[in-house]
Amino acid sequence: MAAYCRVSTDSEEQINSYTAQKAYYTQKIEESPDWELAGIFADEGITGTSMKKRKEFNRMITACKRGGIDLILTKSLSRFARNTVDCLETVRMLKARGIGVIFEKENINTLTESS
């Protein structure tokens, strides 16, 4: 399991949020006996509208394609992607590979029937 974090600006408040998100997901994953930490992927000061510019997001997707990640945990849909089409295409590609995404704020797990 991996986590993805993103903050869109370099403001001090956003940098604190970025640091807090990384610490939160590291602790949450390490404390769960069913999850093994495959990495924390985090883009700082990058907009969510363009996936091409998000180096860590793309590194995470590559790791998924190589079989190194089976589940992604992220704060919300807006942290994962601001572009609806990109978000849907990425989630569908991951789901086709048996890889789920958990969007905590929306309480969505893409691998469950109710999502």
List the beta bridge partners of residue 43: 6
Can you tell me which residue has the tokens 């999502």? 115
Can you tell me which residue has the tokens 């989630």? 91
Do the domain assignments include residue 59?
A: yes
Q: Could you read off the pLDDT of 2-17 as tens digits, one per residue? A: 999 987 655 555 556 7
pLDDT score recorded for residue 49: 64
pLDDT score recorded for residue 12: 59
Domain containing residue 78: CATH number? 3.40.50.1390
Mean pLDDT of 38-47: 84
What domain range is 85 assigned to?
2-109
For the chain, what is the domain count? 1
Mean pLDDT of 64-85: 92
Helices (H), the chain: 12-31, 55-65, 77-80, 84-96
Structure tokens at 71: 């589940």
Q: Could you read off the pLDDT of 47-70 as tens digits, one per residue? A: 656 777 889 999 999 999 999 999
Give how far Cα 108 sits from Cα of 45, 101, 113, Å.
25, 8, 10
Do the domain assignments include residue 85?
A: yes
